[in-house]
């Protein structure tokens, strides 16, 4: 096997996720030679961009995708929720690592129930902001940018009373001690693909495809492909106010979905159960029900 170059963003979280891939590959092929290449994306360079109003679906991936296509790297490690739902031509997802816990978490000194009226909550996600505002309309939602450590520092400096983050990222960085509250999915439905790590490769690299097949986590693949198919059916990207989490056990599935209009004036929540054989019908029914939010 040739030496493999792995492309990644340079944040601590991105590097921690890349290390998870390298460990998985080393476990099945101890002699494998891997090199990490850090690539800055537009989202890393322009921190003033508002993520909640950003139409660019490749904000954190485009520069990495370009190097993958050019052959400068052999594969790329992505947080799946940052990756556009349709792979660019000539590429594919070669593997998904086993998914971590999908919930969002609250970072701060008080739980949601303890925070006072007018408390300032930081998030860059419409999905989180809309769902939180529906249940806690007395909070002030304020956008926040930066990597995990930067956001925590802003909160600890007093700019925010609390911030919402993904549980998986906090755990991968060893920051579970900062978590004040794990948010139930019934309160804030996670983003499609949240907590999943995707390995992006060229689709003509059959040697690498065969290698990655050995570390591909099939349950994770089933779950995230359902979630992202729903996202694609609604025409969305990672900024869409859509929450969707699929739990796949054996041949049984449970899906929770939240979807809102862009102005947050209308929203819908659904929880459905179906067998694998009913997947297509369940998807069609969900899409029809969710599109009523747009039609009103």
Active-site residues, by number, are 82
Q: How far apart, in whole angstroms, are the C-alpha atoms of residue 19 and residue 205? A: 22
Q: Could you tell me if 292 and 267 are in contact, meaning their C-beta atoms sit under 8 angstroms apart? A: no
Burial 27-36 (b: 16+ CB within 10 A, else e): eeeeeeebeb
Q: How far apart, in whole angstroms, are the C-alpha atoms of residue 91 and residue 202? A: 4
Closest CA to 95 of 205, 244, 253: 205
Distance of CA 223 to the CA centre of its chain: 13
Angle made by CA atoms 210, 215, 218, in degrees to the nearest 5: 100
């Amino acid at each position: 096997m040739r030496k493999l170059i792995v492309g990644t963003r340079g944040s601590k979280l991105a590097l921690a996720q890349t290390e998870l891939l390298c460990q998985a590959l080393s476990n099945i092929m101890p002699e494998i030679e891997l090199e990490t290449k850090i690539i800055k994306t537009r989202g890393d360079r322009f921190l003033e961009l508002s993520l909640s109003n950003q139409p660019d679906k490749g904000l954190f991936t485009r520069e990495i995708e370009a190097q993958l296509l050019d052959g400068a790297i052999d594969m790329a490690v992505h947080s799946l929720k940052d990756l556009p739902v349709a792979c660019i031509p000539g590429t594919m997802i070669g593997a998904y690592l086993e998914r971590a816990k999908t919930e969002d978490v609250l970072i701060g000194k008080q739980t949601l129930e303890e925070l006072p009226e007018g408390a300032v909550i930081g998030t860059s996600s419409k999905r989180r902001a809309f769902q939180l505002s529906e249940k806690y309309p007395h909070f002030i939602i304020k956008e926040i940018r930066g990597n995990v450590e930067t956001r925590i520092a802003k909160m600890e400096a007093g700019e925010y009373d609390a911030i919402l983050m993904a549980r998986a990222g906090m755990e991968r960085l060893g920051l579970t001690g900062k978590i004040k509250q794990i948010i139930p999915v019934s309160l804030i439905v996670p983003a499609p693909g949240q907590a999943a790590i995707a390995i992006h490769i060229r689709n003509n690299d059959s040697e690498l495809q065969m290698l990655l097949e050995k570390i591909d986590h099939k349950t994770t693949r089933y779950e995230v492909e359902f979630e992202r198919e729903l996202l694609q059916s609604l025409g969305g990207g990672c900024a869409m106010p859509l929450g969707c989490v699929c739990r796949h056990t054996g041949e049984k599935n449970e899906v929770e979905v939240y979807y809102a209009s862009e102005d947050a004036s209308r929203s819908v929540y659904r929880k459905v159960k179906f067998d694998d054989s009913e997947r297509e019908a369940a998807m069609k029914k969900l899409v029809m029900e969710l599109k009523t939010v747009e039609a009103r």
